[in-house]
A and B are shown apart, each in its own frame.
Chain A
Amino acid sequence: MSDLNEEESSGRRKFIRVTTIGISAACGIFPLAAGIPALLDPVKKNSGESANVPWSKVAPFTSLPEDGSPAKFEVVQETVVDAWTTYKDIPVGAVYLTRKQDEVIAFNLKCPHLGCAIDFRKQTNDYFCPCHNSSFALDGSVTTESSPSPRPMDTMETKVEKGQVWIRFQQFRPNVEEKIPLS
């Protein structure tokens, strides 16, 4: 009889312990759990579809050097949404533009290695990133084997309409071989 009682009371004690731990854990985790979806919200907004990238007018075609040497321009986007603010006509980045017959090639100013700004060197007629010494030829390709950049300079879609150069300006994920757009 007393054995039975003891067994029952030990079962009851175990139940109390498990319930207590369970409820306490639920209460303890709840505040953080309540914010997890919001915390992870930035991850869900990540579609780099180039069709969604707007065209931005950069410069008159005639302002590009005829010999095909690069010129630097800032890219002003008509509408830029940063979280809650909608900006109109603000610079979003810079590009090097070069002429190739009637077309224009655009390189993002940012180094594909870790995102430093790339310089154009007139003396050596190439691109050079002063942060980690990546160097690129005029066509954007990596020139030295020891260059830390895993891929050529990032190009973007361009078009010439009514004498104006337009570009679909994008940023790309740094330090990977593949060119993956971020937007």
Chain B
Amino acid sequence: MKMIFDWLDDRSGYRTLLHEVLYEKVPGGARWRYVWGSCLTFAFFTQVVTGTLLWMFYSPSAQTAWESVYFLQYQVWGGWFLRGVHHYMAQAMIVLLVLHLMQVVIDGAYRAPRELNFWFGALMMGVTLALSLTGYLLPWDQKGYWATAVATNLMAEVPVIGPAIQQVVVGGVEYGHHTLTRFFALHAGVLPAMLVGLVVVHIYLFRKHGIHVKEPRPKKDSYFWPDQILKDAIACLAVLLAVVALTVYFHGAPLGPPADPANEFPARPEWYFLFLFQLLKYVPAFWGAVIIPVFLALWIFLQPFIGSTRPGHQLNIGFWWTLIAGSVALTLLAFSEDSANLRHSAALEEADWQAERVLSIVQEEGIPPAGAVTLLRKDHENRGRNLFAANCASCHRYNGHDGRGYPVDDAQSAPELAGFASVEWITKLLNHEHYISEEYFGGTKFKNGTMARKVLAKYTAEEIALLPRIATLLSDMAELPYQTPLSEDEREELLALFYNDDLVFQDGLACIDCHDIDSEEEGHAPDLTGYGSDEWTIAFLENPEDERFYGDENDRMPCYGRDGKLTDEQIKILSDWIRSRPSE
């Protein structure tokens, strides 16, 4: 064995090299404050290795990016773990960058003769941020898509050449295949190669000038190996464990619903860019895109010269602390504004719903060549709630929201429709108090109609007790997919009640005197034959002003079919959705 190593050393001189690497002098002994550079190198190494592995699964195009990431996340053995490590290590890298920068600033390690290395470090920070920006888009989910749109629109703020830069980076005017191929080339090729080059120069310059010793020296001098390497290794292990813990806790990186330019999503960058996002609420985009970066670059360039005097050094430290404190404050502000915003939380919940929905469709049907986004666009459940939100929710509500979970600004002026035509829903409808409440007809002219004033308001307790049975009969006609149908006998018995054969109701009037069920005569109130069924609901949505329903008594309910507001297919989807088991 020794002979082989001797031969290798003779031909390569590796022992001298290794000796030089390992026996770098550490004046004042090994210290924890020196570990950040090694941690960053380790983090970058992890990103290169896990990134190369991810590369084996990723396919950059608008129809395959989300799909290939989905496949890795849910179908490939341990795919979620690999992706999670890459995702959380990227975030750890940002934290480590800030720690490394602050250590350099506080220790004054940026000053002569290390100016050049400080500038290289700043360049590396820029490249790392560019890496996270480009990586954010690659899964091509809603979050990445909308956030990147904002980031690339900022590029257009650069004077004169801005729009051209944006077009080159995006690969055109619209986001699509070429945005992904370009971002992927940047993320997996150009930027890592730049970073490798910069790391080499950075470490070379670091070695040339030696470690910058923070006075006073706690111990006597020692060497990089093994004392400092032990500390470095422990710190790297801690980073690794934190990343693994995050990966396991969140079961890998999140994957939102597939990107869809027609499906709005509140764009937010990753947490470490939130301060910039928040800042753009107060200053023009031009500041965020040009003035602030130029000012920062200028400050970084001048920092070693400013810091050559003691007060200058203090100024530098103060500058960075202020910057960090300001960023933290802006970030917290962004979080608290978002969490106080009901529409924002609803949008996040909606995205979660879509992500889960698309997963369950994919498990049933697989992903067509046109991509997963088409599954959501075609999905009747998704379309149903969107149709409701767009057409019904300005008057009606669904569990108090617009069908998708968003709060509605307009006051409710028509019935709540979650659980429409179910026993529970009709039972409440037949209760006078509920009938005239905003939840049902309180916002309509029916609040003062015959049914409210002359029928429901006048029931005796004994009659009220019969109403749930009437509700059961009516609801049975709806043939709701989630309710068990009545037996023939039960139905006969309840129909007798409806027709009021034995005159249980005091005023001698039966429901049938106004509402029809299976009869030829025309009562003036809505026909309840097949009430809430597929046929009834579709016919009602098509034309509530038909004699069969409200006739000229209709109160503002649009005639979606008659007036061509919705297609037959849309009405059917809407009807199916309203009649489906109510979700939260």
Contacts and interface: CB of A to CB of B under 8 A. Distances in A.
Q: Do A and B bind each other?
A: yes
Interface of A: 13, 16-17, 19-20, 23-24, 26-28, 30-32, 34-41, 44, 79, 81, 83-88
Q: Which among B50, B226, B365 has the greatest number of chain A C-beta atoms within 10 A?
A: B226
A40 B48 CA distance: 19
B78 A37 contact: yes
B77 A38 contact: yes
Contact of A38 (B68, B70, B76): B76
A28 B48 CA distance: 12
A30 B79 contact: no
Interface stretch (B204-212, B231-239, B293-301, B536-544): B231-239
B50 A35 contact: yes
Contact of A35 (B42, B53, B75, B230): B53
A41 B77 contact: yes
Interface in B234-250: 234, 236-237, 240
11 contacts: A26-B240, A30-B46, A32-B53, A35-B54, A37-B78, A38-B81, A41-B78, A83-B75, A84-B64, A86-B368, A88-B368
A84 B81 contact: no
B463 to A, nearest CB: 58
Contact of A31 (B85, B225, B234, B365): B85
A142 B390 CA distance: 69
Contact of B240 (A27, A40, A87): A27
B237 A86 contact: no
Instruction: Please classify the interface of chain B as helix (H, G, I), strand (E, B), loop, or mixed, using the class held by over half of its residues.
Output: helix
B230 A16 contact: yes
B82 A19 contact: no
Nearest to B81: A34
Contacts of A35: 49-50, 53-54, 78, 82
B226 A27 contact: no
Nearest to A39: B53
B272 interface: no
A59 B70 CA distance: 37
Contact of A86 (B78, B234, B236, B365): B365
Closest 4 CB pairs of A and B: A86-B366, A37-B78, A35-B53, A31-B49
Contact of B77 (A19, A37, A85): A37
Contacts of A17: 226
B71 A44 contact: no
Contacts of A27: 42, 233, 236-237, 240
B159 interface: no
Interface in B61-105: 64, 67-68, 70-72, 75-79, 81-82, 85
A36 B57 CA distance: 13
Contacts of B71: 83-84
Contacts of B368: 85-86, 88
B457 interface: no
A81 B229 CA distance: 49
Contact of B233 (A23, A34, A40): A23
Nearest to A23: B233
B77 A31 contact: no
A38 B74 CA distance: 11
Nearest to B231: A20
Contacts of B70: 84
A81 B46 CA distance: 32
A37 B57 CA distance: 13
Nearest to B239: A27
